[in-house]
Every structure is written in structure tokens, then in C-alpha cells.
């Protein structure tokens, strides 16, 4: 019997590693701080037609509303209740978005903030996104309800009540993360409230969760919560499907808590991936693209079947979280597009793209004084809609990296080559590399300060292909460079280091 229970639990974990993307889709995008109505429209007009597999949404639950600083992005990571009204919209708008996105084959993944409630200094009153009353000082959140005994303060042994030493795993799990009131997730009552919140979303049709701050929760407590979760809604998912779980654990090495403690429960964020990839494209510390022949586990990353990867995320693009200055973002568009293309072309992990908004950076002594700034908003603090320009870019401060042609076309590349092996590697022992994915795709990068001019074995069938970086295939014509592959699978590539995008990619469906 014991053996059976172990097998059942292990099976649950493996099932929670599957993102359940539809129609052979392979990538999701984080539409950071977008309103539900805008996400629904984006699924229908852009994400569905262009082969995106899913959207990670900002936390949908009721959150604190802060005036100083003014409506920061991180107020959404300070829950007040599990009511589904947030800066992004109402419960009805959320439900409408989930339905409309699912109907065009785009999954919704929820950012679930369940380690804590708001900060201990959050005050008392109705300054919350649904207007619910709460008292941070008295630890009273009647809309859940949570009260004093539902928090971990009695277990924390530090003088301040906050995490003071990341070398002590008990502190990291039982004390307050930057003053945020830490929920007692070992209590059956608290587990029930958290699972109830997640189950309501599953029943509405979401495909899974990014679970925030997992390092700060005990794996056993998370296992107990995940074990209570419903199967996915059979209106859109096959019977018996488990929610996809990807857990935020910042593990760059050097701390006692490792991502390995969580990988049996679901996928885990591999923060080393973006940190190292950024350093490679920036050519820091002697790193070269040619060293990435064994990219993935060969670089000390977790097994690919457990990994959830990204070039940047909402934290580290503004200097929070992990990775520091090596992270490449939309502020460095040339390097960023190359790094994203490398990630999407490479088979390792489940991939997430970032879709950001601009803010006025003010960097003093290496730190951005404006890293708190929330999304483009009206004078009353409400989030602006995302306007789409005639050239398909976004206006009003929304960056929409996922709409950049070079990134959108690489999403298709990943779908086309899915399941094919990493093959036909070439490098110049510096920063020019190429690799294929079986006979379905091939990509060539020039990140050196000189031109690339080389004939390579692509592994592709002979014919003329449209480069999907300089342009794309439209009907039977190509708006970019054309690449001629011979009957022997060899093709000649010339890439100037001065090109706006010094890389070329072809795939089976870009054949003319």
C-alpha cells in the first residue's frame, strides 16, 4: 500500500510538469500587468493566429493599493483576499478572458501568490483592489478570512521577524520575506483556503500556475496544497489532466535551499539560464557563444524535463530577483532578440517570453531609483489599455516584445521543430555558432565583431528557404533574405556583424 501511495504521488508530480499547450504550441508569454480585456483581445487577434501556447497573467486576486510610491507593480504581490478583482479587472472580465483565450487555443497560467499576504506595515482600512477591509497590524483579513493564528510569526526565530540569513532554511521558510506577512501553510485551514482559490481558477479554465516565492514555502506544504487541486476543466483539456505547476525558486547556487527540493512537484524556474545566457551574449568574463555546444544540463542547469526558462522576467528586468546586470532585456534590443532566438531554437526546458512596459529609469550608483514604477496608467491609477499601432507594435508605453517580428517568427520556429534533436552544431571557436533541429530547422548566429561567411551542413532538405529573421514568408514570396540549401543539405551563409539582426533562421515551413 505504501508503495502504491508513493507511485500515485510521484505520478501527480510528473503530470504537473506538462503545460498542456494545444495544437503543438510550445511557448508562453507573460503579459505583465495587462488588463484582462486586453489579454482576451490579444489571444483572438494575435496570440492564437501566431501559434503562442499560453499567457502568464499577473496575480488575479485582491491586492493592496498603495499611494507611496504611487501604485507600484509590486502591490499585486501583496494579497488582501482571494476575491478575483484586481488592477487588471473584475471576476467577470477574468472569466471572459479565460474562455476567449481557451477558445483560440491559448492557455492561461495564473501567477499565484500564496506564501504571504500584504506587508506588515500595510496599515488598516479599505485601500484594496475590491475595497475589502483589512488590518495588517492585527493580521486580520476578514474577506478570506485569515486572522493572527494563520500566520507563521510564532515559528520565526529572528529578532526582526524577517528573513535575515539565507543560509538558514528554517528562516527562509518561516520568517517574513521583506516584511510580508507569512502564511502558516502547515495548517489544514490555510491549505484549504489556498487550494480553494486555485481550484476556483482551475474550474474557470486555467491550465496551471506560476507559484510565487516557492523557496519560502516548505515542499511538503506545497505538495499538500497541490494534492488538493482539481483536474483541469474537460471543456478544454483532456480528462484527468493535472494543472501545470511552475515554481519560482531562485537558485543560483550558494544557498542551502535548492531547486531540486521542488522538482518532483512540478517544473522549477531555472534562473541560471537567463543569467548565463545574458553574460554570453554580452561576452562578459571571457564567455563565448561557442562554449554553448552543451548548453543545458552541461552547464550545471537542472534536468531539462524539470526546467522552466526565460531570458528575463518581470523582476530581473528591473534589477530585482536574480541575475544582476548580466540579464538582457528590451532595453538592449539587438542582444535581446538574439538571446530570445537562441532560447526558442534550443530544445532545453519549457520557455516563457516577456512582454513589458517602459518606465523612466533613473539609475544612480548602478541602482534604478524607479524600479517600482507600475504599468502605464491614468491619473486615477487605473491601468491603461494596450493600443495596437498600424505597424502591429503597441503604443502608450507598452513594449510588446512578443509582437516583434523576429520574436514572433521564432515562436513559430520552436513549434515547427518541436521534438527534433539538437544537431549539426558548428562554431568558429568564438561567437559565431550554428545548430539545427533534426531536418526541421537551422539557425546561425554572428555575435563577433567581424563578418560571418561560411558554408554549413544544415540537415535540411534541398530547396530555397525564407530567412524568418530579416523577413518572413508571405504567400509564396519572401520579404527577407533567401537561403539556398543544396541537395547535400549544405547552404552558404553571409552575416555582417553590423546587421541590425546578425542571425539567420530557416525552418520546414519557411520553404518557398
Residues 154 and 215 in one domain: no
Specify whether the CB–CB gap between 321 and 372 falls below 8 A: no
Query: Which one from 174, 248, 287, 467 is the annotated catalytic residue?
Result: 248
Residues 256 and 158 in one domain: no
Residues 175 and 190 in one domain: no
pLDDT value of position 281? 99
Instruction: Write out the chain's pLDDT in tens, 512 residues.
Output: 455 444 444 555 678 999 999 999 999 999 999 999 999 999 999 999 999 999 999 999 999 999 999 999 999 999 999 999 999 999 999 999 999 999 999 999 999 999 999 999 999 999 999 999 999 999 999 999 999 999 999 999 999 999 999 999 999 999 999 999 999 999 999 999 999 999 999 999 999 999 999 999 999 999 999 999 999 999 999 999 999 999 999 999 999 999 999 999 999 999 999 999 999 999 999 999 999 999 999 999 999 999 999 999 999 999 988 888 999 999 999 999 999 999 999 999 999 999 999 999 999 998 999 999 999 999 999 999 999 999 999 999 999 999 999 999 999 999 999 999 999 999 999 999 999 999 999 999 999 999 999 999 999 999 999 999 999 999 999 999 999 999 999 999 999 999 999 999 999 999 99
Directed axis angle between helix 333-345 and helix 271-282, to 10°? 130
Three cell numbers, residue 58: 499577473
CATH number, domain containing residue 233: 3.20.20.80
Three cell numbers, residue 381: 491609477
The number of CA neighbours under 13 Å toward the Cβ of 67 is 4
CATH number, domain containing residue 496: 2.60.40.1180
Other C-beta atoms within 10 Å of 381: how many? 14
Residues 71 and 136 in one domain: no
Q: Does the annotation count 186 as an active-site position?
A: no
pLDDT value of position 323? 82
Specify whether the CB–CB gap between 208 and 246 falls below 8 A: yes
Number of domains making up the chain? 3
pLDDT value of position 312? 98
Residues 395 and 371 in one domain: yes
Global pTM? 0.97
Residues 377 and 229 in one domain: yes
Q: Does the annotation count 297 as an active-site position?
A: no
Residues 440 and 411 in one domain: no
pLDDT value of position 321? 82
Residues 173 and 193 in one domain: no
Query: Which one from 33, 93, 150, 212 is the annotated catalytic residue?
Result: 212
pLDDT value of position 6? 45
pLDDT value of position 8? 46
Residues 334 and 216 in one domain: yes
504: containing domain? 420-510
Among residues 395, 416, 437, which one ends one of the domains? Answer: 416
pLDDT value of position 91? 99
Closest C-alpha among 313, 280, 285 to residue 295: 280
Three cell numbers, residue 89: 479587472
Residues 463 and 333 in one domain: no
What DSSP string runs through 212-266?
Answer: TTGGGS-HHHHHHHHHTPPPPPTTTS-TTPPPEEEE-----SSSS--GGGTTTTS
Closest C-alpha among 104, 425, 417 to residue 292: 425
For the range 192-199, what are the long-range contacts, defined as Cβ-Cβ under 8 Å and sequence gap of 24 or more? Answer: 192/228, 193/82, 193/144, 193/146, 194/114, 194/225, 195/225, 195/228, 195/229, 196/82, 197/61, 197/82, 197/112, 197/114, 198/110, 198/112, 198/114, 198/225, 198/229, 198/243, 199/228, 199/229, 199/230
pLDDT value of position 12? 56
Among residues 416, 434, 464, which one ends one of the domains? Answer: 416
Residues 253 and 358 in one domain: yes
Among residues 123, 151, 183, which one ends one of the domains? Answer: 183
Specify whether the CB–CB gap between 61 and 201 falls below 8 A: no
Residues 256 and 318 in one domain: yes
Amino acid at each position: 500500500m505504501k508503495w502504491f501511495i508513493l507511485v500515485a504521488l510521484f505520478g501527480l508530480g510528473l503530470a504537473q510538469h506538462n503545460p498542456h499547450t494545444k495544437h503543438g504550441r510550445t511557448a508562453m508569454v507573460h503579459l505583465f500587468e495587462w488588463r484582462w480585456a486586453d489579454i482576451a483581445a490579444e489571444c483572438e487577434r494575435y496570440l492564437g493566429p501566431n501559434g503562442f501556447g499560453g499567457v502568464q497573467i499577473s496575480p488575479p486576486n485582491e491586492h493592496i493599493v498603495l499611494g507611496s510610491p504611487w501604485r507600484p507593480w509590486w502591490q499585486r504581490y501583496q494579497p488582501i483576499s482571494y476575491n478575483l478583482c484586481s488592477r487588471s479587472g473584475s471576476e467577470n472580465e477574468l472569466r471572459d478572458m479565460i474562455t476567449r483565450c481557451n477558445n483560440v487555443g491559448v492557455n492561461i497560467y495564473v501567477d499565484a501568490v500564496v506564501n504571504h499576504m500584504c506587508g506588515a506595515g500595510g496599515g488598516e482600512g479599505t485601500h484594496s483592489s475590491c475595497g475589502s477591509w483589512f488590518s495588517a497590524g492585527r493580521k486580520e483579513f476578514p474577506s478570506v478570512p485569515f486572522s493572527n493564528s494563520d500566520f507563521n510569526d510564532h515559528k520565526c526565530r529572528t529578532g526582526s521577524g524577517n528573513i535575515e540569513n539565507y543560509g538558514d532554511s528554517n528562516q527562509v521558510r518561516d520568517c517574513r520575506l521583506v516584511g510580508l506577512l507569512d502564511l502558516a501553510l502547515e495548517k489544514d485551514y490555510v491549505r484549504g483556503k489556498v487550494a480553494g482559490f486555485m481550484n476556483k481558477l482551475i474550474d474557470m479554465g486555467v491550465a496551471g500556475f506560476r507559484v510565487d516565492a516557492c523557496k519560502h514555502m516548505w515542499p511538503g506544504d506545497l505538495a499538500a496544497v497541490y494534492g488538493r487541486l482539481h483536474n483541469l476543466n474537460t471543456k478544454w483539456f483532456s480528462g484527468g489532466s493535472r494543472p501545470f505547476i511552475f515554481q519560482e525558486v531562485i537558485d543560483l547556487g550558494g544557498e542551502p535551499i535548492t531547486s531540486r527540493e521542488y522538482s518532483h512537484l512540478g517544473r522549477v524556474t531555472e534562473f541560471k539560464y537567463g543569467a548565463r545566457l545574458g553574460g554570453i551574449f554580452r561576452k562578459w568574463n571571457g564567455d563565448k557563444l561557442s562554449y554553448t555546444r552543451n548548453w543545458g544540463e552541461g552547464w550545471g542547469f537542472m534536468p531539462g524535463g524539470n526546467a522552466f526558462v526565460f531570458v528575463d522576467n518581470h523582476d530581473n528586468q528591473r534589477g530585482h530577483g536574480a541575475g544582476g546586470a548580466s540579464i538582457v532585456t528590451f532595453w538592449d534590443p539587438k542582444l535581446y532578440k538574439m538571446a530570445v532566438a537562441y532560447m526558442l531554437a534550443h530544445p532545453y526546458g519549457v520557455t516563457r517570453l516577456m512582454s513589458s512596459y517602459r518606465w523612466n529609469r533613473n539609475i544612480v550608483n548602478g541602482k534604478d531609483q524607479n524600479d517600482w514604477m507600475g504599468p502605464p496608467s491614468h491619473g486615477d491609477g487605473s491601468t491603461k489599455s494596450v493600443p495596437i499601432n498600424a505597424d502591429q507594435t503597441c503604443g502608450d508605453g507598452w513594449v510588446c516584445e512578443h509582437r516583434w517580428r523576429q520574436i514572433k517568427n521564432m515562436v513559430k520556429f520552436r513549434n515547427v521543430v518541436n521534438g527534433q534533436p539538437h544537431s549539426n552544431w558548428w562554431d568558429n571557436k568564438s561567437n559565431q555558432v550554428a545548430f539545427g533541429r533534426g531536418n526541421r530547422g537551422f539557425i546561425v548566429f554572428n555575435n563577433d565583431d567581424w563578418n560571418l561567411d561560411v558554408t554549413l551542413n544544415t540537415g535540411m532538405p534541398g530547396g530555397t528557404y525564407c530567412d524568418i529573421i530579416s523577413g518572413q514568408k508571405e504567400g509564396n514570396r519572401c520579404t527577407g533574405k533567401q537561403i539556398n540549401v543544396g541537395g547535400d543539405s549544405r547552404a552558404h551563409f553571409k552575416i555582417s556583424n553590423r546587421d541590425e539582426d546578425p542571425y539567420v533562421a530557416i525552418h520546414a515551413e519557411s520553404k518557398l
